Amino acid sequence: MDTIVAPATPTGGAIAIVRVSGEDAFHIVESSFKVNLAVKDGKWNATLKKLKIGDEVLDECIVLTMPAPKSYTGENMVEIHSHGSSFIVRKIVDTLIKHGARAAQPGEFTKRAVLNGKMSILQAEAINWLIRSENSKGWEIAKKQLEGEFEAVIRKLRKGIIDLASDMVADLDFSDQVELSMDYFEKKARYVLGVLEKIVKSLERSVVIFNETKVVIAGRPNAGKSSLMNSLLGRDRVIVSDIEGTTRDFVSETVNIGGFRIRLVDTAGIRLNASDEVEREGIRKAYREIEGATVLLLVVDLERGFGDYEKNVLLSANGEIIIVLNKSDRVDDSRISEVMESVTTWVKNEELDCGRVNFAITVAKDGIIHEVVDKLKTILKGILDVEIPVVPQERYLALFKDAHKRAQEVVDAVRNGMLDAASFLLEEIVRDLEFVLGKVDVEEVLDEVFSKFCIGK
Amino acid sequence: MFDDKYDVVVIGAGHAGIEAAAVVKRMGKKVCLFTFDLDTIGLTPCNPAVGGPGKGHLVFEIDAMGGVMGELVHRSYTQIRVLMTSRGNTARVLRAQIDKKMYQLEARKILEEMGVDVKQDEVVEIVIEKGRVKGVKTALGKLYSCEKVILTAGTYLDAEIVLGFKKWRAGPSNHMASYALTKRLLKHGVEVTRFQTATPMRVDGRTIDFQLMKPLMPDVGITSFKFGKKVDKIRQVPSYLTYTTKETVEVIKQHLSTSPIVIGNIAEAGPRFCPSIDRKVINFPEKPDHQIFVEPEGFNTVEWYLQGLTTSMPPYVQHKILESIPSLKRARITRYGYAIEYNVFPPFKQLKPTLEHINVKGLYFAGQINGTSGYEEAAAQGLIAGINAALSLDGGKELVLSRSSSYIGVLIDDITTKSFTEPYRLYTSRVEYRMILRASTAYFRLTPIAYRLGVVDRKFYEEVERLRKEIQRTVELLKLKKIAPTKKVNEKLKEVGSTALSKKVSLAEILKRPEFNYSLLKRLFPEYVPELSSPDAEFEVETEIKYEAYIKRQLSRVWKREKFEKFEVPEGFDWNLLRGKISAEALDELIRTSPSSGKEIARLARVSEEDLVFLYQFFRDKKFRLRILGMKAEEL
């Protein structure tokens, strides 16, 4: 295995670290900088060394040696802690390359760690996301995956699959000696389906957690959208005036609410009869945002009430909804009840899912929006509460979704008395998920058959 | 110097030997089949049954390729049953019980009819010069010249019978065995190991209480293992099912110290799928009711076979075991169960996929000497060894059946690419492409190949083709013909408990409904759905339509998989060069097994598909290889 080198820290800090990994790591560092590392077998060792290039001292550095296999990559590794000058770092890396090291490709240290069995691919991906996590939830998930919680679920899935596969083999290959009922097969197939379902759901939510959650503010012109936006951001970002249609373009900001990273979008005030083409285009865009919102904040002007305008918006929403009853300072409480009542009745008549619709009463221009924040937190917590800690991976999501679909087909095939097709589909699942499950060899399944059933002539 | 001259000599007239000799003869070569005893050609020394899951597929495939096993079973069955009728169309398979003596007589007759030279003499040495077969020497001092030898000696090489505390030299059923041949073979770079297998006691049927057993009735009217032949009803007899009791388990536990497994006077490597009753009690001590299938040994004998009671415990314990089972309490033992140890030449790293030995040109191995178990597995190998011996006489391209072509292909691929520590049996679960390799498609898959090789005649081939076209035509018709959701149609559907149509759908879509089969479709829409030439054809149409999605998916998988297996590993390749390039787990296995081809690598338990694709690229693409190794061209 050749020896690779790369800076491990970004430029600009007081200290910079250069990492070297590979069989010849010690030798290359020694010959590059004319130092003796005095590596001790099986032990980490940190010493202060003057690194020389030619006869000239480049820098005084802490040199940490980590002999294989007790290192991150499982290979011989050296970390050089120098002063944080980009010149020094460049010099160190260039000199090492001149003496036989190779510039590492992105992620190559971790890749080696995986290939050398120091960590699983799932742990490696967790590390990747741990570095990128920007909120407590993301950090928690990445950390749990790193600690192996997701792998425990995968092991459970693998066990469930082998259990089912071996039952199928016993029944299909030793039909005269083992006869299991279709109900029994269905129960076991449903278990596998259930685990896959949880994984898919968790992966989907994880995508939301690690990427941004979109919260979209909509409402009639001058209902108070921009005031709400500003209050949520805690500053005057959006120009607020009493003239309708002040906000023509969308305003979008990232904000952290209750540990969740959120992209807050303020749509242009949608008028039902837009006068010019520019505004009509704006309206189309606004509807697209509303459709894609994780949470929709529909601002209703209590003075004007709940009308066709609001109904159109609600019918376009796909996510959770908070009806923000704004300008409560200007109306009587009975008016608030009246508006709420009319919304509830309409929602029921339209057979919308009532659970999706929440109310919050606000005076946005004065920053009285705590009800919105509380509702938002509760909703986000509900959406983002993952059962299985797993970092988002588009590839995983696609494969697990496929596997989930197949598992549903397994259940269907069993129900239709096609155990032959069910066993084929189960093998497809195993092959498609091979990269996480590990290979399931036919001998492993047969071993399980013979340990479970007393088979033989 | 030579007494006679043959193209091919086959040693051993068991199931492998019969197929090998027959096919070589069919391919127009001069062949001689040697056996200890002309009266025991086609001996079935264990159970009187052929077929079942996996094995039944093999028999159809052998029949499709012009082998004789299907014909022999058809001429000698005592009953045939359809198994797995409630597990989906592709799982359905036949099993036959045979009259053992009749099977032997028919086997001999068929060979005589074909004009195969059969000789009663023992081959004591295969003459090999410079790594090439020259002829064979017999116990009677005769010397025969031949270019090819197919060794199909079954369990007869250095065979030893174990029964209780006794152990003696003999072949199955105390027949003569061979103690000279192996020793002389070893000088030519052939490797040997030792396996064991065992068989249960036989009893006098007049002393069995059949009233206490469950009869297993034969099926009638179905197609036999021979293409186009029907199972007639007149001459079938049932077999029976009975169980051991708590007392049986007690008796065995009390006498375990007399079991050869416990004593240790027998080789370890016995078949897991065929454990002795003592082994079952050791492994599952809590289970009292082990199945015993009671099967007739033939029409003209009172002997019955007790499948499930395999043991080599001493005779007095065998009596006690029977006494503990109400239905067999008074049963008189005619032959005691015993175990047999024999030589096996593990094919892995020793045989080419043609079944020819890598170190001896012209020497082929087939059957139980290859470490497989079962009459069917043996016959399949004999057929392929015979075809390849004959093909190579003409210098032609030899036949290697892929895993996606047949169960035979899987069998031979398995034994030549993986090592096994117990006798090998072909489970259907080993066959990854079983959605395509249905028993019902054996003829369509293999008969065209056999026809090209000149193994089957034109008439047979044309019959198969006609059937294939009939099925294909019908499938297309059912896909094209659309049914409108008329009131009349929906009423008909309602009558049979199927949901009404809301739009126009094809007949194929209707057939796909779980509650439908071909005959129901025919009954409901007689004006469109034709009556086919046989129930088998209708069954196959139904299968192709119901399983269409799975079949398609499997075909696309075959294409991908087979592509990435096509590479060779240079001899002496240093796998350590790939350290850090593929997973450590896979690398360990590669180092341990040092595979020589993509096919072998694909069968390893720890090498994933991703690893395989990487290795494919690595060994096929020089630029990729150099880049991976960080080398310049001249360094490699």
Q: Which residue has the tokens 């009803």?
A: B233
Strand extents, DSSP E, B369-480: none
Q: How far apart are CA B161 and CA B169, in angstroms?
A: 6
Residue A305 · residue A342 · CB < 8 Å: yes
Q: Are B185 and B344 in contact (CB under 8 A)?
A: no
- The residue-averaged pLDDT of B234-245 equals 90
Of B274, B283, B605, the CB nearest to A443: B605
Give which of B253, B604, B270 is closest to B421, Cα–Cα: B270
| Percentage of chain A exceeding pLDDT 90 | 40
Q: Taking all residues of chain A, what is their mean pLDDT, rounded to a whole number?
A: 86
Whether the CB of B280 is below 8 Å from some CB of chain A: the reply is: yes
Rounded Cα distance between B159 and B164, Å, is 16
Report, as an integer, the average pLDDT of B25-31.
97
Contacts of A434 in chain B (CB under 8 A): 608-610
ipTM greater than 0.95: no
pLDDT over threshold 90, residue A285: no
Give residue A283's pLDDT: 78
pLDDT at A385: 72
- For B523, the token pair is 């009954």
The CA distance from B76 to the nearest CA of chain A, in Å, is 22
**pLDDT (mean) for B242-257:** 95
**Beta pairing class for B291-296 and B166-169:** unpaired
Percent of chain B scoring above 90 in pLDDT? 78
Going edge to edge, which strands form the sheet with B143-145?
A: B4-5, B143-145, B132-138, B123-129
From chain B, pick out residues whose CB is under 8 angstroms from the CB of A2: 630
Classify residue B634 as left (phi > 0), alpha (psi -120 to 50) or beta. alpha
Average pLDDT over residues B131-141: 96
Residues in CB range of B503: below 8 A, 6 or more apart: B485
Angle between helix A86-98 and A25-33 (nearest 10): 110
pLDDT tens digit string along B286-295?
999 999 999 9
Return residue ranges of chain B for CATH 3.50.50.60: 4-47+103-196+342-442
Predicted confidence at residue A432, as pLDDT, reads 85
The answer to whether B252 faces chain A, any CB pair under 8 Å, is no
Delimiting residues of CATH 2.40.30.260 domain(s) in chain B: 198-338
How many CA atoms are closer than 13 Å to the CA of B45, on its beta-carbon side? 23
pLDDT category of residue A268 using cuts at 50, 70 and 90: low
List, in sequence order, the alpha helices (H) in A76-224: 86-98, 108-115, 121-132, 136-146, 149-173, 182-210
Residue where the block lists tokens 């008796």: B251
Residues near A334 by Cβ (< 8 Å), separated by ≥ 6?
Answer: none
pLDDT of B613 higher than 80: yes
Q: What is the pTM of this model?
A: 0.82
User: B162 with B341: CB under 8 angstroms?
Assistant: yes
What is d(CA A303, CA A338) in angstroms, rounded to the nearest whole number?
Answer: 11
Residue bearing tokens 């070569």: B29
Residues of chain B contacting residue A441, judged by C-beta atoms under 8 Å apart: 605
Between CA A282 and CA B531 the distance in angstroms is 65
Class of domain B473-550: mainly alpha
pLDDT value for B16: 98
Residue B74 scores a pLDDT above 80: yes
Place of tokens 């008969």: B447
The angle formed by the CA atoms of residues A66, A69 and A70, to the nearest 5 degrees, is 50
Q: How confident is the model over A19-73, as pLDDT tens digits?
A: 999 999 999 999 999 999 888 888 999 999 999 988 899 999 999 999 988 999 9
DSSP string over B97-133:
EE-HHHHHHHHHHHHHHHT-EEEE--EEEEEEETTEE
Taking only Cα atoms into account, the Rg of chain B, rounded to an integer number of angstroms, comes to 27
Strands B93-98 and B77-83, bridge-based pairing: antiparallel
pLDDT interval class at A249 (50, 70, 90): low
Q: For B217-224, what is the mean pLDDT?
A: 86
Give the burial string for A34-49 (b: 16+ CB within 10 Å, else e). ebebebeeeeeeeeeb
Which position has the higher pLDDT, A261 or B158? B158
Cα distance between residue A106 and residue B462, in whole Å = 62
Backbone φ and ψ of B579, nearest 5°: -60, 130
- The per-residue pLDDT for A457 is 57
The whole-angstrom separation of Cα A146 and Cα A128 is: 10
Residues of chain B with CATH 1.10.10.1800: 473-550
CB atoms near residue A337 (< 10 Å): 10
Residue A354, min C-alpha distance to chain B (Å): 32
- A179 near B CB under 8 A: no
Cα–Cα distance between A457 and A116 in angstroms, integer? 45
Whether the Cβ atoms of residue B601 and residue B595 lie closer than 8 Å to each other: yes
What digits encode the pLDDT tens for the residues A351-386? 777 778 889 999 988 888 889 999 988 888 777 677
Give the DSSP H/E element, type plus range, for residue B8.
strand B8-11
Burial status of residue B503 (CB atoms within 10 A of its CB: 0-12, 13-18, 19 or more): exposed
Nearest to A431 among B87, B310, B609 (CB): B609
- Average pLDDT value for residue range B447-471: 96
What six digits make up the tokens of A203? 């992966």
Distance, in angstroms, between B572 CA and closest chain A CA? 19
Beta-carbon count within 10 A of B447 CB: 26
Enumerate the residues of chain B whose CB falls inside 8 A of the CB of residue A443: 605
| Nearest C-alpha in A relative to B310 | A457
H/E segment holding residue B443: helix B442-452
A358: nearest Cα among A303, A409, A314, A316: A314
Judged by DSSP in three states, B424 sits in: strand
Query: What is d(CA B300, CA A356) in angstroms, rounded to the nearest whole number?
Result: 80
Residue type, B617: Q
Architecture per CATH, B198-338: Beta Barrel (2.40)
Tokens of B72: 């022999």
- Higher confidence at residue B423 or residue B604? B423
Q: What does the mean pLDDT of chain B come to?
A: 93
Residue among A416, A422, A457 whose CB faces B274 most closely: A457
- Edge-first strand order for the sheet with A4-7 is A45-53, A56-66, A77-83, A15-21, A4-7, A102-103
Rg (CA), chain A: 30
CA dist., res. B325 & res. B579, Å (int): 60
Please determine, looking at this structure, whether the domain spanning B4-47+103-196+342-442 carries the CATH number 3.40.605.10: no
**B14: amino acid identity, one letter:** G
> CA-to-CA distance for A83 and A95, rounded, in angstroms?
16
**Residue A290 CA from chain centroid, whole number:** 22
Assess whether pLDDT exceeds 80 at residue A275.
Answer: no
Which residues, 6 or more positions from B274, have their beta carbon under 8 angstroms from its beta carbon?
Answer: A456, A457, B197, B198, B310, B373, B423
The backbone torsions φ and ψ at residue A285, rounded to the nearest 5 degrees and listed phi first, read: -60, -40
B273 with A444: Cβ contact below 8 A: no
For residues A37 and B357, which has the higher predicted lDDT (pLDDT)?
B357
At B260, the pLDDT band (50, 70, 90 cuts) reads: confident
User: Among candidates B245, B276, B247, which has minimal Cα distance to B263?
Assistant: B276
Contact B293 A176 (CB under 8 A): yes
CA distance B340 to B355: 25
CB contact under 8 A, B274 and A176: no
- Give me the total of CB pairs closer than 8 Å, taking one residue from chain A and one from chain B: 126
Residue of chain B with shortest Cα separation from A424: B435
Over residues B385-409, the pLDDT tens digits come to: 999 999 999 998 899 999 999 999 9
Q: Using 50, 70 and 90 to split pLDDT, how confident is the model at B211?
A: very high
d(CA B205, CA B304): 6
Looking at CA atoms only, how far is residue B448 from chain A in angstroms?
Answer: 27
Structure tokens at B106: 């028919």
What is the C-alpha to C-alpha distance for residues B92 and B407, in angstroms, rounded to an integer?
15
3-state secondary structure (DSSP) of residue B166 = strand
Task: Report the candidate in B135, B196, B187 with the shortest Cα–Cα distance to residue B11.
Answer: B135
Put residue B434 in one of left, alpha, beta given phi > 0 → left and psi -120 to 50 → alpha: alpha
**Residue B229 sits at the chain A interface (C-beta within 8 Å):** no
Lowest mean pLDDT among A452-456, B304-308, B440-444: A452-456
Respond yes or no on whether the N-terminal peptide bond of residue A69 is cis (omega within 30° of 0). yes
Nearest to B558 by CA among B456, B436, B425: B436
Distance of CA B616 to the CA centre of its chain: 31
> What is the distance between the alpha carbons of residues B172 and B160, in angstroms, rounded to a whole number?
9
Taking the Cβ of residue B164 and every Cβ of chain A, the question of whether any pair is shorter than 8 Å is answered with no
Q: Is the pLDDT of residue A239 over 60?
A: no
Tokens of A118: 């120091």
Structure token pair of residue B307? 């499948």
Tell me which residue in A416, A420, A454 faces B287 most closely, judged by beta carbons.
A454
The residue in chain A having the minimum alpha-carbon distance to the alpha carbon of residue B216 is: A176
Q: Write a three-state SS string for B356-388.
A: EECCCECEEECCHHHCECCHHHHHHHHHHHHHH
